[in-house]
Amino acid sequence: MSTTIRATSKAELLGRIEHGYVASRAVLDSLPADRFALRLAAGWTLKDVLAHLGAWEEICVDRIARLRAGEWRPYNDADTDARNEEIVAATRDVDPPELLRRWGDAHAKVLELVASLTEEELADERFVTAIAADTYEHSPDHFADLGAAVRTSKDLALAVNAGWVPFRLALMSLGHSGLDARTPAGWTYTDLAAHTAAWEDLAARRLAEMRTSGGTVFPKSGVDADEFNARVVARTKGRDSRDILRELDDAHRALVVEIEKLPDDYLARNDSWANAMVAGNSYGHYAEHHTELFSAVPKRPREVLERMREGWRPFRGALSRVGLTPLSQTTTAGWSAKALLSHLSYWLESLEALLPERLSGRRGPVPNVQAENDREQAAATGRSAHDVVKRLDEAYRRLVGIVTALPADQDLHFMAVRLIAGESYGHFAEHLAEIDALLPKTTAGVLERFDQTWTTFRGAIRERGRARLMERTPSGWSYRDMCAHAANWLQIGVQELESGDVRAWTTESIQAENDRAVEAHRLVGPEAMLDELDTSQVRMRETLAAISDERIRDARVFAIAAFYTYLHWEEHLHEDLGVSV
């Protein structure tokens, strides 16, 4: 007799059904093919157990259809035994991949069935009894069978990672704002990530204690679960979700490393303590929160686009503040920023070919990730910073167009969502810290960028000579007009820095100011124009040098210091002066 408390709502039903299924699939999807021939204690092979689990979900769908037609017949033990013998006999020549596919199809039908239940059906005990018996009350009956099939530390690590990948990708797919949203359970998804990290960290420490004892000590958690969870939520409050995700990744890596250190024969000790403890704190735990987490995964193209834009804005904004010159520098990850941006561009571009398979729920061809990364890193050396940034912008715009063109009223398969998230907004978030680290954080750092870019900019103007300042640039105005434009923004910058009155510039007001500056200098000769440009540059440098490090980090002050000066000059180096950075 089952002692499980019956679910009373669709959400509860779905959560419990998914818990058993997702946890079981983490094991079965990760085991080697020959393991399905393993004969278990009850006499069945692992393949028989797989066939049995899938078949009863198929039976569940049929049972509910009959119940809706007015037919209700509770099963007795004899019925169940006979049906089990039929299942084993009927699937004797069916290979495990096909049985896994059949189970997946049957499970999807069960989920659709539960979603279709009316309030009257949900209140009818027969419906819940039938569904529970063939799903979430059934799965635990075979957890020991699945555990027995996990024979080595490698098996266990693979099962953990099989559950981890969709869980972690689902968290990533939420985007920054999605992580701060409330789950159906009432906490945030950031809290959920921190909660998972804390239990994985504790599991790793318990496993290490067992291992270092020579496999003779099997430590309890030593915590009250409710109090432990409450402490985790309390210390997560107000923290950046990116930091929490890093902690989660660190905790997961530590657990997998500890699993891989475990001698294989330790897994079965003390009634398979290590197997059960790890399962409960990893793939079984991910499965427990599966429905809660996946309810928030973006499903429609519009939702995915919102998260793409949310992830793109801070990354592209940081890149704009860095400018072009530092992109040849080495990032905190050990490659150049140009290599990083080339890497991002390549994977954005790859989506067009990979997405059709993913939209159909298939993984499709798997690229050689390391080889592609190495190739992009090597090729980046010969590319200009301008070309690298232009490629990134074009790749992102192309992806926006692809996602926008998808049917607006159809859900995207999670295989597609995780691909888009992983190669766009999740990828931007992963590398944002590398770009941020290139930003100058002190007045001295800003002045270094100022001087470096001014030398290049002024040198390129000097090469034209005073006699050529009235010639047209590739942009269509004269070199004198460009100098007037640059000098004007230096003068505006000094005014705003000294007065503290920073104007809220718009596209229209910027263009009007540009037109005004050119018109105001129409009668100014080339020599006088260069003198004004040089004087404006000196005045701006003196103003910047007087600013404290604390003030230079103010976003509005930094914007003037960078965008009115060296970032502005970089634009004209490429557009008007033909200088590649």
* Rounded to 5°, angle at Cα 560 from 559 and 566: 90
Tell me the Cα Rg of the chain. 31
Domain span including residue 101: 1-149
Given this model, what pLDDT does residue 546 score? 98
User: Is residue 115 located within the same domain as residue 46?
Assistant: yes
What tens-digit pLDDT sequence spans the chain (581 residues)? Answer: 344 555 568 999 999 999 999 999 999 999 999 999 999 988 999 999 999 999 999 999 999 999 999 998 887 877 899 999 999 999 999 999 999 999 999 999 999 999 999 999 999 999 999 999 999 999 999 999 999 999 999 999 999 999 999 999 999 999 999 999 999 999 999 999 999 999 999 999 999 999 999 999 999 999 999 999 999 999 999 999 999 999 999 999 999 999 999 999 999 999 999 999 999 999 999 999 999 999 999 999 999 999 999 999 999 999 999 999 999 999 999 999 999 999 999 999 999 999 999 999 998 998 999 999 999 999 999 999 999 999 999 999 999 999 999 999 999 999 999 999 999 999 999 999 999 999 999 999 999 999 999 999 999 999 998 889 999 999 999 999 999 999 999 999 999 999 999 999 999 999 999 999 999 999 999 999 999 999 999 999 999 999 999 999 999 999 999 999 999 999 999 999 999 88
User: Is residue 285 located within the same domain as residue 166?
Assistant: yes
Domain count, the chain: 4
User: Is residue 213 located within the same domain as residue 271?
Assistant: yes
User: Is residue 421 located within the same domain as residue 520?
Assistant: no
User: Is residue 37 located within the same domain as residue 142?
Assistant: yes
Intra-chain end-to-end CA distance of the chain, in Å: 74
User: Is residue 310 located within the same domain as residue 355?
Assistant: yes
User: Is residue 306 located within the same domain as residue 415?
Assistant: yes
The answer to whether 434 and 331 are in contact (CB under 8 A) is yes
Other Cβ atoms less than 10 A from the Cβ of 136: the count is 23
Q: Can you tell me the distance from the alpha carbon of 155 to that of 29, in angstroms, rounded to the nearest whole number?
A: 11
Given this model, what pLDDT does residue 104 score? 97
**Phi, psi for 117 (deg, rounded to 5):** -60, 135
The answer to whether 167 and 53 are in contact (CB under 8 A) is no
Other Cβ atoms less than 10 A from the Cβ of 530: the count is 20
Q: Can you tell me the distance from the alpha carbon of 282 to that of 196, in angstroms, rounded to the nearest whole number?
A: 8
Domain end point (choices 396, 418, 437): 437
Q: Using the 8-state DSSP alphabet, how is residue 522 labeled?
A: T
Q: Which amino acid is at 454?
A: W
User: Is residue 369 located within the same domain as residue 450?
Assistant: no
* Rounded to 5°, angle at Cα 387 from 381 and 389: 100
User: Is residue 230 located within the same domain as residue 324?
Assistant: no
Domain end point (choices 297, 321, 340): 297
The answer to whether 456 and 568 are in contact (CB under 8 A) is no
Q: Can you tell me the distance from the alpha carbon of 130 to that of 85, in angstroms, rounded to the nearest whole number?
A: 20
Contacts of 179 (CB under 8 A, 6+ apart): 171, 188, 189, 190, 193, 241, 244, 245
CATH of the domain at 342: 1.20.120.450
Of 464, 342, 352, which Cα lies nearest the Cα of 392?
342
Domain end point (choices 407, 437, 467): 437
336 alpha carbon, distance to own chain's centre: 22
User: Is residue 193 located within the same domain as residue 231?
Assistant: yes
User: Is residue 471 located within the same domain as residue 427?
Assistant: no
User: Is residue 403 located within the same domain as residue 540?
Assistant: no
Q: Using the 8-state DSSP alphabet, how is residue 330 labeled?
A: B
- Two structure tokens written together for 561: 């210091």
Q: Can you tell me the distance from the alpha carbon of 168 to that of 188, in angstroms, rounded to the nearest whole number?
A: 15
